[in-house]
Chains A and B, each alone.
Chain A
Amino acid sequence: MDHPIVEPNMYAIKAMLILDGDGNRLIAKYYDETFPLVKEQKTFERNLFNKTSKGSGEIILIDGLTCVYKSNVDLFFYVIGSNKVNELLLTQTLTCLYESVQKVLGKCFEKRVFMDNLGSIFLILDEIVDSGIVCETDSRSVIQRASIRTEEQQPLGEQTVAQVLLSAKEQLKWSLLK
């Protein structure tokens, strides 16, 4: 049998997902009509999470889709493509997504801080993939283009009083614990 002739295609990414430690959706971007209904998307996410949350590995074939994934504490990152797509492209995209988010969150790479920076995360996703086409695979460019102020650059004056207080409280608690 001859292979059907494959049309060169830049629309490689079907979806990018970020789920929390219980498999709930934090951010989900679907770029084509594989799962047209929200209900189908959530079922797929649940299914994907169940299969990937405990096992090791970074790639899985599920419902005929190739999914690459990576996690940290209570954040799970997924990039999904068809089973025809170059898997290494998916991995590269995932790495870019992961590193960009890491740069934004800094040392506190976990859900709560993630939620605090949700706006920036949306911008990151927008820079990495546009309607299924990979736009950027270098996390430094992504951060720069999304014009996100990472923590080092943030002037103290920009923090609200509440934030400063909270921060002080945390540090005090930490020193007491010692």
Chain B
Amino acid sequence: MAYAGKRGDKKDDETAGNPYANLDRTTVLQEARIFNETPVNVRKCSAVASKILYMLNQGEVLSVREATTFFFAITKLFQSQDVNLRRLVFLCIKELCKVAEDVIIVTSSLMKDMTGKEEGYRAAAIRALCLIVDPQMLQSMERYMKQAIVDKSPAVASAALVSSLHIATRSGAGLDIVKRWGNEIQEAATNENPMVQYHALGLLYQIRRGDRLAVNKLIAKFTAGRHLKSPLAVCLLVQMVSKTIQEEALQGTVTASLFDFLESCLRHKNEMVVYESAQALVNLRHSTGRDLGPAISVLQLFCSSSKPTIRYTAVRTLSQVAMTHPAAVTACNMDLENLITDSNRSIATLAITTLLKTGNENNVDRLMKQISSFMNDISDEFKVVVVSAVRALCFKFPKKHTLMMSYLATMLREEGGYEFKKALIDTLIIIVEDNQDAKESGLTHLCEFIEDCEHVNLAVRILALLGREGPKTKQPAKYIRYIYNRVILENAAVRSAAVTAMAKFGAYCPDLKSNIMVLLKRCMMDQDDEVRDRATYYFYILDSQQSGLYNNFILSHLQVSIVSLERALQTYISNTTHQEPFDMRSVPISAEPLTVEDKKLLRDEIQGARAEVGREEARAAKTGATGAAPTTAAVSAADMYVEQLQKIPQIAALGPLFKSSLPTQLTETETEYVVKCIKHTFEKDIVLQFDCINTLNDQILEKVYVQVESPDSAFVVDGTIHCPSLPHNQPGTTYTRVRIPPDEVAATAAFTSVLKFVVKDCDPATGEVESEEGYDDEYVLEDVEVTLADHMQKTIVPNFAAAWDEFGNDSEHQGTYGMNQYKNVQDAVDNLVRFFGMQPLDKSEKVPGDKNTHLLLLSGVFRGGFSVLVKCKLVLSDSGVAMMLQVRSESPEVNEAIIQSM
């Protein structure tokens, strides 16, 4: 126990034997023998019990036997009536019951304590007991629990309520039992003690949450009466109301009185309630569109509070609002600017990022300066938040790129973890790729960064970027030095990336070729296999003097999905004959290679940052996870189809899958039957996959298939695969195979489609069929259209001009078209990209400014493996957009098909 007047020298304190230093279970187990002595020595036993607790708390893990030994030793202490010691015993029981065996034996002792006279440990006994019992035993003690819930001692009532809540959340059986105590819990909710109110309200909600009507009643009762004294309880009520409003909003019927309640809570005298309701109102805004004003002004007041936490809550909420409604936050700009210099860095950072979101072109400079003044002091997570705010800003004000660029470059040079550096590099790469004006300076900054970069991953990415973008700049030669430095100084992974980057310069810039070859020759002596192999490979390709080879084997990379390639190679190897060489064309082309996918993701995020709340925060929370996961998901979608289709023999026989379209809905989403269609293109066939869901719970559909017809085209329906049975809400799939007419000219067609099936009535509850006899029925679906895009895969050609020239004039087809439906060039370009299903190159999918002429470059692979390049010259005139189309490919039929489909 503490005693007054102790003013010790600190050094003495440290050395004066700390009883808790170096505890281990063997010594503590020894000491625990004292528990067996009678009469119990309260002081010594308390000390040992504390030691046990401390040891467990330090993370010492006990075996089941050790835990059980401790447990039984401790039960001896029930002899003592000392309140403090008994409480420590409860705590030890709670800790040990997770591991020890036979803990059930203390039930009766605890039950006695729970109902006994000693006020000091009744509540604690309830907590310990409820941790041990299972629902079965709970039934036998129901009576005591009910009594405890309405006990006049708030400590006991609270303990009983909270323990009931644990039981109810732990298991369904527990919940059923606790539900029977409804009346007692109701009574507790009117208890004078605020904490009891809070716990009772929470428990009431927990047992009724499955039943919306009951929840509404609960809310009505407590919002009307205003007899909740506890701020915590009111906060809980606010959460319930907010959830109800959101659910109602989904159905389009919002009770106005609920809103009035939330707004009245803004005037509550407790700050916690005020904040909870402001937060709720701000979040509700998206679904309802009520005025944010009152909530914002409350938050504005919070901004000037003396308590850091309150300022933090205000600025955090404002930053969320700023993502969706920057205008609403502008009113607080002055207050936010004051917070930039806040001593709490978290607050300052959030204030800055919020201001960056609401800021305009004029004050950006000043803000950026302020940020750089405190970047050093904040945590990496917040740095990432700041970087993503800057990234969004770069897109908002492309003209400010010099400022941003120098700012990002300064940050690159500063200390920081991998996540932070990665965010910076991602941002810089996007700027370099998107903003022509910023390209040169951005590349220079990145070059300087890799001079001293500890993260292999980032160095490799930057080198790849240099290889891609560097050769297209005005002075490609100046980057070679940076790249070659890496070859001299770095580890194998970076060296091989550098070799690849150099080769790209050699392939793209004829005047650098001889120099590059000298450097590559040096790399051929490298000690690492990979580096040597790459250098040799590139050297001989460059030495061949054939620009076609450069294009195919240096500048462009593998455009197939790795998983499919592996599968194709395995099939080839297991095929024993090996008469024919492996044909790369048999591998399905992956829609887009990984790097592009990655960029897309980031770009989406930027767009998202403007439109979405909460994303930013999620990023701050899980910066690592977001990067990789969606990419792999996108890649595997195609592979998933392949796997799925391979299992069906009729379809597997068609050969390798060329392309799968995105699903299109053929019905409204809320009809009896929901059908969507995915088009799988093979070399000579198209398989239409129909994913059907039966939303009627009193029907089972059998022999489901889709009848398709295309009277106007030469496509022939070649068979269907039925879905044998389609119960309620379980997705089923049926396929229809269509043969593509052998003459390539007819690439497009429209199919009318009808869902045909046999209906059998069934019992909605059990799903059992009531009558074996069904009747035929059908359901008309929307038309399925096969377009040019279904025959085309996107590919990336790094050097369009070279590839274009290689085909030569002979393989070209032309056509001129007037497209009067488009009023500006960008619309026309967007539609053309969608129509062709090809990859736009050199950023030609974006029309800079409001220009009247534009050149769109597209590349792709036509079904059957024919590379296709397309040039569209677009001119805007008074009557609409006129287009000159040039198509070059290996096959005149393909050209014809493309021209025809226009």
Please say whether chains A and B are actual partners in one complex: yes
Is B2 a contact partner of A91 (Cβ separation < 8 A)?
A: no
Is B235 a contact partner of A89 (Cβ separation < 8 A)?
A: yes
> Once the chains are docked, how many angstroms separate the CA of A90 from the CA of B121?
27
Annotate B3-47 by CB proximity to A: 1 below 8 A, 0 otherwise: 111111100011010111000000000000000000000010011
Which single residue of chain B is at the shortest CB-CB distance from A126?
Answer: B91
The stretch from B81-89, B353-361, B466-474, B832-840 touching chain A is: B81-89
> Once the chains are docked, how many angstroms separate the CA of A43 from the CA of B682?
53
Is B1 a contact partner of A117 (Cβ separation < 8 A)?
A: yes
Which single residue of chain A is at the shortest CB-CB distance from B611?
Answer: A1
CB distance from A117 to the nearest CB of B (A): 6
CB distance from A93 to the nearest CB of B (A): 10
Annotate B102-125 by CB proximity to A: 1 below 8 A, 0 otherwise: 000000000000000000110110
* Given A105-B2, A151-B1, A167-B3: A115 touches B247 (CB 8 Å cut-off): no
Is B3 a contact partner of A6 (Cβ separation < 8 A)?
A: no
Interface flag for B202 (CB, 8 Å): yes
Interface flag for B58 (CB, 8 Å): yes
* Given A7-B243, A131-B166: A151 touches B346 (CB 8 Å cut-off): no
> Once the chains are docked, how many angstroms separate the CA of A2 from the CA of B199?
30
> Once the chains are docked, how many angstroms separate the CA of A24 from the CA of B308?
26
Interface flag for A99 (CB, 8 Å): no
Interface flag for B236 (CB, 8 Å): yes
Annotate A137-159 by CB proximity to B: 1 below 8 A, 0 otherwise: 10001000111110100100011
Determine the chain A residues whose CB is within 8 A of the CB of B346 once the complex forms: 57, 59-61
* Given A1-B611, A10-B202, A51-B379: A123 touches B313 (CB 8 Å cut-off): no
State how many residues of chain B have any CB contact under 8 Å with chain A: 93
Interface flag for B430 (CB, 8 Å): no
Interface flag for B232 (CB, 8 Å): yes
Is A145 a contact partner of B19 (Cβ separation < 8 A)?
A: no
Partner of B84, one of A51, A55, A123: A123
* Given A1-B613, A10-B236, A88-B272: A57 touches B1 (CB 8 Å cut-off): no
Annotate A158-175 by CB proximity to B: 1 below 8 A, 0 otherwise: 111001001100110110
Is A1 a contact partner of B614 (Cβ separation < 8 A)?
A: yes
Is B91 a contact partner of A123 (Cβ separation < 8 A)?
A: yes
Determine the chain A residues whose CB is within 8 A of the CB of B612 once the complex forms: 1
Annotate A33-63 by CB proximity to B: 1 below 8 A, 0 otherwise: 0000010011000000001000111111111
Which single residue of chain A is at the shortest CB-CB distance from B619?
Answer: A64
Partner of B47, one of A6, A63, A119, A133: A119
The stretch from B49-57, B723-731, B862-870, B871-879 touching chain A is: B49-57
Which single residue of chain A is at the shortest CB-CB distance from B343?
Answer: A56
> Once the chains are docked, how many angstroms separate the CA of A68 from the CA of B8?
31
Partner of B3, one of A83, A87, A111, A151: A151
Is B2 a contact partner of A151 (Cβ separation < 8 A)?
A: yes
Interface flag for A71 (CB, 8 Å): no
Is B50 a contact partner of A119 (Cβ separation < 8 A)?
A: yes
Which single residue of chain A is at the shortest CB-CB distance from B612?
Answer: A1
Annotate A87-115 by CB proximity to B: 1 below 8 A, 0 otherwise: 11111100000000000111110111101
Partner of B46, one of A38, A91, A119, A160: A119
> Once the chains are docked, how many angstroms separate the CA of A62 from the CA of B235?
24
Interface flag for B59 (CB, 8 Å): yes
> Once the chains are docked, how many angstroms separate the CA of A107 from the CA of B14?
18
Is B272 a contact partner of A154 (Cβ separation < 8 A)?
A: no
> Once the chains are docked, how many angstroms separate the CA of A79 from the CA of B345?
19
Partner of B309, one of A56, A68, A116: A68
Which single residue of chain B is at the shortest CB-CB distance from A163?
Answer: B3
Is A130 a contact partner of B614 (Cβ separation < 8 A)?
A: no
Determine the chain A residues whose CB is within 8 A of the CB of B159 once the complex forms: 130, 135
Is A61 a contact partner of B195 (Cβ separation < 8 A)?
A: no
Is A5 a contact partner of B243 (Cβ separation < 8 A)?
A: yes
Is A122 a contact partner of B309 (Cβ separation < 8 A)?
A: no
Is B379 a contact partner of A60 (Cβ separation < 8 A)?
A: yes
Is B4 a contact partner of A106 (Cβ separation < 8 A)?
A: yes
Partner of B275, one of A64, A88, A159: A88
Is A112 a contact partner of B13 (Cβ separation < 8 A)?
A: yes
> Once the chains are docked, how many angstroms separate the CA of A51 from the CA of B91?
32
Is B162 a contact partner of A133 (Cβ separation < 8 A)?
A: yes
Is B246 a contact partner of A5 (Cβ separation < 8 A)?
A: yes
CB distance from A155 to the nearest CB of B (A): 10
* Given A62-B381, A137-B195: A6 touches B313 (CB 8 Å cut-off): no
Interface flag for B312 (CB, 8 Å): yes
Is B2 a contact partner of A118 (Cβ separation < 8 A)?
A: no
Is B54 a contact partner of A170 (Cβ separation < 8 A)?
A: no
Annotate A57-79 by CB proximity to B: 1 below 8 A, 0 otherwise: 11111111000100000000000
Is B20 a contact partner of A115 (Cβ separation < 8 A)?
A: yes
Is B272 a contact partner of A170 (Cβ separation < 8 A)?
A: no
B43-99 residues at the A interface, CB under 8 angstroms: 43, 46-47, 49-50, 53-54, 57-59, 61, 83-84, 87-88, 91
Determine the chain B residues whose CB is within 8 A of the CB of A122 once the complex forms: 50, 53, 88, 91
Partner of A115, one of B18, B121, B127, B202: B18
Is B2 a contact partner of A3 (Cβ separation < 8 A)?
A: no
* Given A61-B381, A146-B87, A151-B2: A91 touches B309 (CB 8 Å cut-off): yes
Determine the chain A residues whose CB is within 8 A of the CB of B6 once the complex forms: 108, 113, 166-167, 170
Annotate B139-168 by CB proximity to A: 1 below 8 A, 0 otherwise: 000000000000000110011001101100
Is A147 a contact partner of B287 (Cβ separation < 8 A)?
A: no
CB distance from B459 to the nearest CB of A (A): 27
Which single residue of chain A is at the shortest CB-CB distance from B88?
Answer: A119
> Once the chains are docked, how many angstroms separate the CA of A58 from the CA of B240?
29
Interface flag for B344 (CB, 8 Å): yes
Which single residue of chain A is at the shortest CB-CB distance from B124?
Answer: A126
Determine the chain B residues whose CB is within 8 A of the CB of A10 once the complex forms: 165, 198-199, 202, 236
> Once the chains are docked, how many angstroms separate the CA of A147 from the CA of B84?
7
* Given A135-B162, A170-B5: A88 touches B309 (CB 8 Å cut-off): yes
Which single residue of chain A is at the shortest CB-CB distance from B313?
Answer: A87
Is B379 a contact partner of A123 (Cβ separation < 8 A)?
A: no
Is B272 a contact partner of A89 (Cβ separation < 8 A)?
A: yes
CB distance from B182 to the nearest CB of A (A): 18
Determine the chain B residues whose CB is within 8 A of the CB of A116 once the complex forms: 1-2
Determine the chain B residues whose CB is within 8 A of the CB of A63 once the complex forms: 381, 621
Determine the chain A residues whose CB is within 8 A of the CB of B158 once the complex forms: 135-136
Partner of B2, one of A7, A61, A104, A174: A104
Annotate B598-624 by CB proximity to A: 1 below 8 A, 0 otherwise: 000000000000011110010011100
B817-874 residues at the A interface, CB under 8 angstroms: none
Most buried by B among A59, A64, A148, A167: A59
> Once the chains are docked, how many angstroms separate the CA of A41 from the CA of B345?
24
> Once the chains are docked, how many angstroms separate the CA of A145 from the CA of B46?
18
Partner of B620, one of A1, A61, A154: A61
Interface flag for B697 (CB, 8 Å): no
* Given A6-B242, A61-B382, A86-B272: A119 touches B84 (CB 8 Å cut-off): yes
Most buried by A among B123, B165, B198, B312: B312
Determine the chain B residues whose CB is within 8 A of the CB of A112 once the complex forms: 8, 13-14, 16, 18
Is A8 a contact partner of B236 (Cβ separation < 8 A)?
A: yes
> Once the chains are docked, how many angstroms separate the CA of A46 from the CA of B555?
48
Determine the chain A residues whose CB is within 8 A of the CB of B720 once the complex forms: none
Is A57 a contact partner of B58 (Cβ separation < 8 A)?
A: no
> Once the chains are docked, how many angstroms separate the CA of A53 from the CA of B5?
28
Which single residue of chain B is at the shortest CB-CB distance from A42?
Answer: B59
Which single residue of chain B is at the shortest CB-CB distance from A166?
Answer: B6
> Once the chains are docked, how many angstroms separate the CA of A58 from the CA of B306?
12
- Interface CB pairs A-B, < 8 A, 20: A1-B613, A2-B287, A6-B243, A8-B205, A8-B243, A38-B61, A59-B309, A83-B621, A87-B309, A87-B312, A112-B13, A117-B1, A118-B50, A123-B91, A147-B83, A148-B84, A159-B1, A163-B1, A163-B3, A173-B9
Given contacts A28-B57, A111-B13, A119-B50, 13 further A-B contacts (CB under 8 A): A1-B613, A6-B283, A8-B205, A61-B620, A64-B621, A83-B621, A86-B272, A88-B271, A119-B49, A130-B162, A136-B195, A160-B43, A173-B8
Shortest beta-carbon contacts, A-B, top 5: A64-B621, A57-B344, A38-B59, A8-B239, A119-B50
